[in-house]
Chain A
Amino acid sequence: MTSVKYEKDSNNIAHLILDKDNAPANLMDIAFADDFAEAAAQLAKDNFDGVIIRSTKSTFFAGGDINMLFSTTKNDTKFVFDLCTRLKSSMRIIESCGKPVVACIAGAAMGGGWEIALCAHHRIAISNQPTARKIQLGLPEVTLGLLPGAGGVTRMVRLLGIQVAMPYLLKGKSFSPEQGIENGLIHSLVDNEGELLETATQWIKSNTNADETPASLVSGINAQPWDIKGYNIPNGVPKDKNVAISLPITPALIRRETHGTLPAPELIYATMIEGAQVDFDSACRIESRYFTELAVGQISKNIINTFWYNLKEVKASFIKSEVIEKIKFTHITILGAGLVGQQLAYHCAARGISVTVKDTNIERIKQVKNYSQKVLEKQIACGHISVDKAQRILELINSTSHCDDLIDSEFVIDTVCEIQCSEHESIQGVNGMLNKDITYRANISSLPITDLSQLTNASKNSIHMNFLPSINNMQVVEINCSENVSDSAITQCHNLVLQLNRIPVTGRTNQSSYTTRVMTAFVKEGIALIKDAHPASIENAAYLAGFSLGPLAMSDELSLSLLNRLGHLNNAHAESDSPNNHPAEIIINDMIKNSRLGKSDGAGFYNYGTSKQSDANKLLFEGLTHYNTENNDIPLNDIKERLLFIMVIETVSCIEEGVISSTADANVGAVYGIGFPQWTGGTLQFINQYGLQRFITRAEELRRLYGVRFQVPTLVNEMLNKNKFF
């Protein structure tokens, strides 16, 4: 056995030691399934007083073998199902051995790891409290488009009840050992690894019959609760009124978040409810069948591709250089106390970085701390943060109107282009004295910048960081810089973004950023669609395709004036009805002429009631239907695919033009940065999952029907010819 060791100690306790040879962590791979089965078989034959399951690694167990699952296809259904069955039957042997089984959890137990822990009768974990340990427990499978297929759904439902288990299964909510004590999934805490084994041994001894008569089964001692006669699932089964009442609407609540595009949460809920109506072993089989469906399905592949592989790649350093030493930033300066400056100051302080905000406007300076204070008060009220910690965060934020206070900064972030006022000049005055002391500096804004050369201080170490508009809490920061920027500057920028807990997407361009281009393509296509479909159909199609915001609502959020100023709308020749013109341009021009610029102006593609804040009352502007002169009503699927395809095609153009270079940046930037639907795995993965040939055929069809902008980029054809994928 290469991954599980079976030992017996002097107390007649059998140890199942999770210890994969030559590996930093344990993995639920095929070898493990074999070894685990062998260990279980050995246990079944042996005579012992109790079982301890423990790990020799820093984590308890790393979880499922993502590489193996990612490589499965629809031809592997039997293989996947059998793998689940094998793992489950080993667990079943262990938990029904009739002797106390303890899991000793000294490190993270996520996914498959937690599922192994669940087959113990008693779970002891090392506390996170005394030291700064960060042991996390839970079942994050849903975040990769999968479900916990090694008994996780079945056991969590039977331990917690349907309602309580939902956030752990449907949202992948993780928990600490301390929280485990509260929710009843962890039975005791110890302070260190030495105590762990000792406590487990004592617990087994105290629950062992001295006289060797076969012990009767006691729930939580030598048997699982569900193996005791008379067991009921906590808080009821689907047939009970209190559970039944929530059954009709829960799918709608799930669908509200997935838009019907992500099968995992739907199938996890189905597994929970269906499993709760049958015996344990039948429930396990139901679970394996749904797991198999998800694992071999395309959508989990898309999600794993992007949220597992691509995200890791993006978070790894942009420049693969070991020469550059990464700075752990402790003090940075922010120029400009506008909204972005205020938000950024908060984010830096919340991540433990001391920050000084410089502005000449006293009123704005006052707002800096106020902003953070308000955010922190809300978090205190929700119980997310202690008053002490909030105070410490607040103390990290300083503001000044004097340049002298900025001397020891390691990084300067210029947010002045955001404020857009004469402040620019006064800040420039600061530059002379700053440069000699500052290592790196970056311009930053929530506004996409078209041309970096417009910015001041374009020097070797100057970079533009694009904090995307804060709608939908986008997590991406796009880093753009021209060719002459040093590797170390990019690396440190990248580094700072990670330190701020954001995802860096890097592009070497001095033109429009990737995310700006792709988002603009989306908005313009949405506007063009007004000629071909009912405006509500456009927004609903975007919803059904998995976008969190329709293109018309998105345009209103961004405002046409911004898009226009950036030059993306390029509507100079819109009056002439040339076929080369984007069909959105005439509409955009009219909207601008009629001062319907967007939400901040009170009217755009939507009418906003008296209260501008209230999105709930907004309604599409009825005048839009006049542009659909021929009363077109194109198929819903065409609307969805026009929106998706145009963004994908724009992405390929960005790759071709060198605006971004990596597939991972493209996929991650699209999903995290501009809300491209998760199920697709990003703009380039969209092509892979659609199939290159099929994609080309469909794009050609869209071009024939709706215009030259759907022309398939050469790169896609090249990839197809080389039999390659993005």
Chain B
Amino acid sequence: MTEAYIFDAIRTPRGRGKSSGALHEVKPITLLSNLLKALEQRNQFDTQYIDDVVIGCVTPIGDQGADIAKTAAIAAGWNDNLGGITINRFCASGLEAVNIAAMKVRSGWEHLVVAGGVESMSRETMGSDGGAWANDPHTNIHTAFMPQGIGADLIATLGGFNRTDVDDFAMKSHLKAAAAWQRGAFANSVIPVVDQNGLEILATDQLIRPDCTISSLAKLTPSFKKMGEMGFDDVAKEKYHHIEKINHVHTPANSSGMVDGAAAILIGSKQAGEMHHLKPRARVIATAIVGEDPTIMLTGPAPAAIKALNLVGLTVEDIDLFEVNEAFASIVLRFQADLNIPDDKVNVNGGAIAMGHPLGATGAMILGTLLDELESRKLKRGLATLCIGGGMGIATIIERV
């Protein structure tokens, strides 16, 4: 069977997802098309050999509406003969793009595919695309819809993670991310965002706060308490009737940050690599998607990881490093508890709590981070996973070559 190799993985820095954020002035199409150009320049491939561009975007409306994947390829001046598809698997869109690209290559029907994602959260507010699940009353009621934050708090309640546990996790995310930047862990893969004159707009992740402390984090008020008390807490009563009260521990500081950013990964067959003189860095050895209870919504990572591991007959111990998206602190804590994974294997360079979670791009970003770190530590296998809206979970296992 054809193997799917990763030749390169790059991303933009992440700007604060508000009008005060550095990347708010940059159109999402610019973020993505410039990144595609950078990918082309770094790898010197002829774009006519690209089969498809698969891009995750979770709020594909307005500035990033329609099919931004194809639009960005055109804007980047890439050859007309390639395709572009925008996909939405909520928070896992970026990793799903990678998985689809890998499947395309492994099928033997395509040879060189760009996977990635883009999200300008400062421009297109999360949830502003509506959708029946939250916004159609009948669907909302009869499927027990509950916002993710309440689910994250419920996960903390079920797992016994208290406010200090999640704040401590958040603080470490910032410290690890700051340390990673300091030692240049991201230097090779973060492409600074520049304007049309070549002037730099943003070169580093904007949200990291190396000076945060447990006591400074403890001052923040819980984000979902009020919303829960208004009625959402009661939605979980049926499925989680052992729980008397949801402990609302998550705050803006121990949840992922809203940011703007984009990512791109070049994936192809061995044959394509040889043809275009691309050096394979790793291969995608397993991918998995699962569905769990949609009400609590965010418990998918562990079952997804197990499904992926089973596909290739591996165990948790065979994985050297994990990247678990830090949508909320409790998600990672639960993942580690479920699979008994030590701290020193998980999110060693920090995560979305420190650097932000540009919804459609994050999955591709953490896969890139995983690959960089496996290389720098000369380790073999890594697993990336994210929790997903609707109760889904995703996992991708890569192995260095």
Is B379 positioned at the interface, with any CB of A under 8 Å from its CB?
no
Interface residue stretch chosen among B212-220, B227-235, B297-305: B227-235
- Asked if A256 meets B234 with Cβ closer than 8 Å, knowing A248-B135, A249-B227, A251-B141, the reply is yes
Is B42 positioned at the interface, with any CB of A under 8 Å from its CB?
no
**Complex Cα–Cα for A541 and B128 (A):** 35
Flag if A252 contacts B237 (CB, 8 Å).
no
Flag if B244 contacts A539 (CB, 8 Å).
yes
Flag if B237 contacts A543 (CB, 8 Å).
yes
**Complex Cα–Cα for A320 and B383 (A):** 80
Q: Which one, A266, A539, A544, contacts B141 given CB within 8 A?
A: A266
Which residues does chain B contribute within 8 Å of A251, judged by CB atoms? Answer: 137, 140-141, 145
**Complex Cα–Cα for A250 and B139 (A):** 12
Report the contact-size class of chain A (Cβ under 8 Å from the partner).
20 to 34
Q: Considering only CB atoms, which chain A residue lies closest to B138 in the complex?
A: A270
Flag if B145 contacts A248 (CB, 8 Å).
yes
Is A274 positioned at the interface, with any CB of B under 8 Å from its CB?
yes
Flag if A620 contacts B244 (CB, 8 Å).
yes
**Complex Cα–Cα for A319 and B235 (A):** 46
Q: Which one, B137, B140, B231, contacts A256 given CB within 8 A?
A: B231
Segment 110-164 of B: residues with Cβ below 8 Å from A: 127-128, 130, 134-138, 140-141, 145-147
Segment 523-549 of A: residues with Cβ below 8 Å from B: 534-537, 539-541, 543-544
Flag if A536 contacts B137 (CB, 8 Å).
no
Is B238 positioned at the interface, with any CB of A under 8 Å from its CB?
yes
Interface residue stretch chosen among A222-230, A236-244, A339-347: A236-244
Max count, chain A CB within 10 A of own CB: residue among B135, B230, B242:
B135
**A to B CB contacts below 8 Å, 13 in the list:** A247-B134, A252-B230, A254-B231, A255-B141, A256-B231, A260-B141, A267-B138, A270-B136, A535-B244, A536-B244, A540-B241, A619-B245, A636-B238
Which residues does chain B contribute within 8 Å of A266, judged by CB atoms? Answer: 137-138, 141
Q: Which one, B137, B146, B237, B242, contacts A534 given CB within 8 A?
A: B242
Flag if B242 contacts A248 (CB, 8 Å).
no
Is A273 positioned at the interface, with any CB of B under 8 Å from its CB?
yes
Is B243 positioned at the interface, with any CB of A under 8 Å from its CB?
yes
In the complex, how many angstroms separate the beta carbon of A596 from the nearest chain B beta carbon?
17
- What sequence of 0s and 1s flags, for each residue 257-271 of chain A, a beta carbon within 8 Å of any chain B beta carbon? 001100000110110
**Complex Cα–Cα for A619 and B246 (A):** 12
Flag if B140 contacts A248 (CB, 8 Å).
yes
In the complex, how many angstroms separate the beta carbon of A259 from the nearest chain B beta carbon?
8
Flag if B138 contacts A274 (CB, 8 Å).
yes
Flag if A249 contacts B135 (CB, 8 Å).
no
- What sequence of 0s and 1s flags, for each residue 89-122 of chain B, a beta carbon within 8 Å of any chain A beta carbon? 0000000000000000000000000000000000
In the complex, how many angstroms separate the beta carbon of A622 from the nearest chain B beta carbon?
10
Flag if B231 contacts A252 (CB, 8 Å).
yes
Is A705 positioned at the interface, with any CB of B under 8 Å from its CB?
no
Q: Considering only CB atoms, which chain A residue lies closest to B146 in the complex?
A: A252
Which residues does chain A contribute within 8 Å of B230, judged by CB atoms? Answer: 249, 252-253, 256
- Asked if A544 meets B245 with Cβ closer than 8 Å, knowing A238-B135, A253-B230, A269-B137, the reply is no
Flag if A619 contacts B244 (CB, 8 Å).
yes
**Complex Cα–Cα for A11 and B141 (A):** 53
Q: Considering only CB atoms, which chain A residue lies closest to B141 in the complex?
A: A251
Q: Considering only CB atoms, which chain A residue lies closest to B236 in the complex?
A: A540
Flag if B130 contacts A239 (CB, 8 Å).
yes
**Complex Cα–Cα for A248 and B135 (A):** 5
**Complex Cα–Cα for A266 and B144 (A):** 13
Which residues does chain A contribute within 8 Å of B141, judged by CB atoms? Answer: 251, 254-255, 260, 266, 270
Flag if B231 contacts A255 (CB, 8 Å).
yes
Q: Which one, B135, B146, B235, contacts A247 given CB within 8 A?
A: B135
Flag if B135 contacts A244 (CB, 8 Å).
yes
In the complex, how many angstroms separate the beta carbon of B280 from the nearest chain A beta carbon?
45
Q: Considering only CB atoms, which chain B residue lies closest to A539 in the complex?
A: B244
Which residues does chain B contribute within 8 Å of A252, judged by CB atoms? Answer: 146, 230-232, 234-235
**Complex Cα–Cα for A149 and B135 (A):** 23
Flag if A270 contacts B242 (CB, 8 Å).
no
Can you name 11 extra interface pairs (CB under 8 A) apart from A251-B140, A266-B141?
A241-B128, A244-B130, A251-B145, A253-B230, A270-B137, A274-B138, A535-B244, A536-B243, A540-B244, A541-B241, A543-B237
Which residues does chain A contribute within 8 Å of B227, judged by CB atoms? Answer: 249
Which residues does chain B contribute within 8 Å of A260, judged by CB atoms? Answer: 141, 238
Which residues does chain A contribute within 8 Å of B241, judged by CB atoms? Answer: 534, 536-537, 540-541, 544, 636
Which residues does chain B contribute within 8 Å of A620, judged by CB atoms? Answer: 244
In the complex, how many angstroms separate the beta carbon of A546 from the nearest chain B beta carbon?
12
- What sequence of 0s and 1s flags, for each residue 183-207 of chain B, a beta carbon within 8 Å of any chain A beta carbon? 0000000000000000000000000
**Complex Cα–Cα for A386 and B31 (A):** 63
- Asked if A540 meets B136 with Cβ closer than 8 Å, knowing A241-B128, A252-B231, the reply is no
Which residues does chain A contribute within 8 Å of B232, judged by CB atoms? Answer: 249, 252
Q: Considering only CB atoms, which chain A residue lies closest to B140 in the complex?
A: A251
In the complex, how many angstroms separate the beta carbon of A284 from the nearest chain B beta carbon?
17
- What sequence of 0s and 1s flags, for each residue 633-649 of chain A, a beta carbon within 8 Å of any chain B beta carbon? 00010000000000000
- Asked if A248 meets B234 with Cβ closer than 8 Å, knowing A537-B242, A540-B241, A636-B241, the reply is no
**Complex Cα–Cα for A620 and B227 (A):** 23
- What sequence of 0s and 1s flags, for each residue 251-292 of chain B, a beta carbon within 8 Å of any chain A beta carbon? 000000000000000000000000000000000000000000
**Complex Cα–Cα for A247 and B141 (A):** 11
Which residues does chain A contribute within 8 Å of B234, judged by CB atoms? Answer: 252, 255-256, 259, 543
Segment 252-301 of A: residues with Cβ below 8 Å from B: 252-256, 259-260, 266-267, 269-270, 273-274
Which residues does chain A contribute within 8 Å of B136, judged by CB atoms? Answer: 247, 270, 273-274
Q: Considering only CB atoms, which chain B residue lies closest to A633 in the complex?
A: B242
Max count, chain B CB within 10 A of own CB: residue among A248, A259, A539:
A248
Which residues does chain B contribute within 8 Å of A536, judged by CB atoms? Answer: 241-244
**Complex Cα–Cα for A256 and B235 (A):** 8
Q: Which one, B127, B128, B137, B243, contacts A250 given CB within 8 A?
A: B137
- What sequence of 0s and 1s flags, for each residue 538-567 of chain A, a beta carbon within 8 Å of any chain B beta carbon? 011101100000000000000000000000
- What sequence of 0s and 1s flags, for each residue 61-80 of chain B, a beta carbon within 8 Å of any chain A beta carbon? 00000000000000000000
- What sequence of 0s and 1s flags, for each residue 364-379 of chain B, a beta carbon within 8 Å of any chain A beta carbon? 0000000000000000
Which residues does chain B contribute within 8 Å of A250, judged by CB atoms? Answer: 137
Segment 345-378 of B: residues with Cβ below 8 Å from A: none
Q: Which one, B147, B237, B238, B243, contacts A248 given CB within 8 A?
A: B147
In the complex, how many angstroms separate the beta carbon of B295 from the nearest chain A beta carbon?
12
Which residues does chain B contribute within 8 Å of A535, judged by CB atoms? Answer: 244
Flag if B237 contacts A544 (CB, 8 Å).
yes
Max count, chain A CB within 10 A of own CB: residue among B128, B136, B232, B237:
B237
In the complex, how many angstroms separate the beta carbon of A185 from the nearest chain B beta carbon?
24
- Asked if A253 meets B137 with Cβ closer than 8 Å, knowing A248-B147, A541-B241, A636-B241, the reply is no
Q: Considering only CB atoms, which chain A residue lies closest to B235 in the complex?
A: A252
Which residues does chain B contribute within 8 Å of A241, judged by CB atoms? Answer: 128
In the complex, how many angstroms separate the beta carbon of B97 from the nearest chain A beta carbon?
27
Which residues does chain B contribute within 8 Å of A244, judged by CB atoms? Answer: 128, 130, 135
**Complex Cα–Cα for A52 and B245 (A):** 58
In the complex, how many angstroms separate the beta carbon of A234 from the nearest chain B beta carbon?
19
In the complex, how many angstroms separate the beta carbon of B327 from the nearest chain A beta carbon?
18
In the complex, how many angstroms separate the beta carbon of B135 from the nearest chain A beta carbon?
4
**Complex Cα–Cα for A342 and B166 (A):** 51
Flag if A247 contacts B244 (CB, 8 Å).
no
Which residues does chain B contribute within 8 Å of A255, judged by CB atoms? Answer: 141, 231, 234-235
Flag if B137 contacts A247 (CB, 8 Å).
yes
Q: Considering only CB atoms, which chain A residue lies closest to B231 in the complex?
A: A252
**Complex Cα–Cα for A541 and B141 (A):** 18
In the complex, how many angstroms separate the beta carbon of B65 from the nearest chain A beta carbon?
14
Which residues does chain A contribute within 8 Å of B235, judged by CB atoms? Answer: 252, 255
The 10 closest A-B pairs by CB, nearest first: A252-B231, A536-B244, A248-B134, A256-B231, A540-B241, A247-B135, A270-B138, A537-B241, A251-B141, A251-B140
In the complex, how many angstroms separate the beta carbon of A288 from the nearest chain B beta carbon?
16
In the complex, how many angstroms separate the beta carbon of A710 from the nearest chain B beta carbon?
22
